[in-house]
């Protein structure tokens, strides 16, 4: 079910007694490398990549939290990032985030970053695992989510976000 403009999305405020089952889904985000994204060596600035990785992981966490009593999520940590290949001006950068593990308030999200050059060649440039904490009123708050099954993929322009949510 997709929500129409003006409709109110129901929120579950009784998370202590209800779990929300989520399917294994992937969030996709992409951008093109422009001159302002370059470093002094003429390749994509690593800080830009890290910021976009954090945004992509946040989208996954936020979508998972739809229908819960949580206000949102904040980045707690990320593991080591090794830049394996550079990206260049005009490359299309695609970031995919997938929720890998759920704790009481924690959400572990794997992010993979690839580049597509002007010839269509696609290769991974880096990856990392982020940990987000679900919050309410600025403090850690149990999200009450558990994994279900059946993969669902989300693209930026897709309006099918609610199809990944099952309320018990």
Q: Would 107 be classed as within a structural domain?
A: yes
Contacts 24+ apart (CB under 8 A), 49-53: 49/83, 49/87, 49/93, 49/113, 49/125, 49/126, 50/81, 52/93, 52/95, 52/113, 53/78, 53/81, 53/95, 53/111, 53/113, 53/126, 53/128, 53/130
CA distance linking residue 27 with residue 161, whole number of Å: 10
Region 35-42 average pLDDT:
97
121 alpha-carbon distance from chain centroid: 24
Q: At residue 5, does pLDDT exceed 60?
A: no
- Residues of the chain above pLDDT 90, percent: 70
> Residue 130: which CATH number?
3.10.129.10
What is the value of pTM for the model shown?
A: 0.77
For residue 41, give its domain range: 20-154
Q: Would 9 be classed as within a structural domain?
A: no
Q: At residue 76, does pLDDT exceed 50?
A: yes
Q: Would 67 be classed as within a structural domain?
A: yes
Q: In this predicted model, what pLDDT tens digit does every residue of 95-113 receive, in sequence order?
A: 999 999 999 999 999 999 9
Tokens (6 digits) for 34: 């422009």
Region 101-127 average pLDDT:
96
Q: Would 2 be classed as within a structural domain?
A: no
- Residues of the chain above pLDDT 70, percent: 74
Q: Would 161 be classed as within a structural domain?
A: no
């Amino acid at each position: 079910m997709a929500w129409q403009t003006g409709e109110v999305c129901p929120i579950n405020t009784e998370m202590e007694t209800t779990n929300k089952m989520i399917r294994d889904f992937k969030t996709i985000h992409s951008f093109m490398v422009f001159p302002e994204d370059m470093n002094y060596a003429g390749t994509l600035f690593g800080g830009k990549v890290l910021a976009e990785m954090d945004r992509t992981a946040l989208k996954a966490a936020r979508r998972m939290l739809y229908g819960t009593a949580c206000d949102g999520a904040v980045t707690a940590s990320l593991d080591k990032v090794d830049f394996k290949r550079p990206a260049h001006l005009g490359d299309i950068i695609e970031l995919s985030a997938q929720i890998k593990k759920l704790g009481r308030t924690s959400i572990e999200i794997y992010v993979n970053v690839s580049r597509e050059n002007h010839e269509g060649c696609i290769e991974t440039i880096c990856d990392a695992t982020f940990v987000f904490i679900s919050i309410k009123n600025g403090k850690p708050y149990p999200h009450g989510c558990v994994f279900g099954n059946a993969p669902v993929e989300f693209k930026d322009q897709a309006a099918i976000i609610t199809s990944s949510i099952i309320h018990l």
